[in-house]
Amino acid sequence: MVAGDIEFSNELQSYIDEWSKKEGGLVMMLHRIQNEFGYVPRAAAEKLSLISGIPLAKIYGVITFYHFFKTTKPGKHRIAVCLGTACYLKGGQDLLEETCSILSIEPDEMTDDGLFSVDEVRCLGCCGLAPVLMIDNEVYGKLTKEQLPGIIAKYRSL
């Protein structure tokens, strides 16, 4: 196999060395990879397969099963729109559509200027604030779609 041509930090490398020997370590290692790169680049998945001996197909089975893992590069600001039960019932889908329409992208895509990307997520753990949207680490609750242009504009100038 031609290994993915990608550098892992020493920290990530030693984490993988440790967890690749453990049962059930795949999700842990993928978490770390996503922390380092913001997503799981194909080259990183290939390198992980090579180091750990876990077939690439299995790695992709896991990456694509969990919404958390991304295979595309995120924007500078990551917008997560919650579609968990509570948020969905309170209009999460409308928020998602409005966000995508403002930015002219689809979920899992990045804007041309590299500033924003949109993810659909299942539950951010604050259902009392439904519907919820999170940008980077900031949570916005009890949102209406009318508030969205203002919030997004704030991040353009950051």
Question: How far is 98 from 107, CA to CA, in rounded Å?
Answer: 11
**CB distance 83 to 132 below 8 Å:** no
Residue 77 C-beta: closest distance to other proteins, Å: 26
| Of 9, 136, 121, 119, residue with least CA distance to 72 | 119
- Confirm whether residue 82 is marked as ligand binding: yes
3-state secondary structure of 73: coil
Residue 118, strand partner residues: 79
Residue 125 C-beta: closest distance to other proteins, Å: 20
Q: Which residues form the interface with other proteins (CB under 8 A)? A: 1-2, 42, 45-46, 55-61, 64-65, 71
Residue 57 C-beta: closest distance to other proteins, Å: 4
Q: Which is nearer to other proteins, 2 or 158 (CB)?
A: 2
Please report, in range form, the residues annotated as the binding site: 82, 87, 123, 127
Please report, in range form, the residues annotated as the binding site for [2Fe-2S] cluster: 82, 87, 123, 127
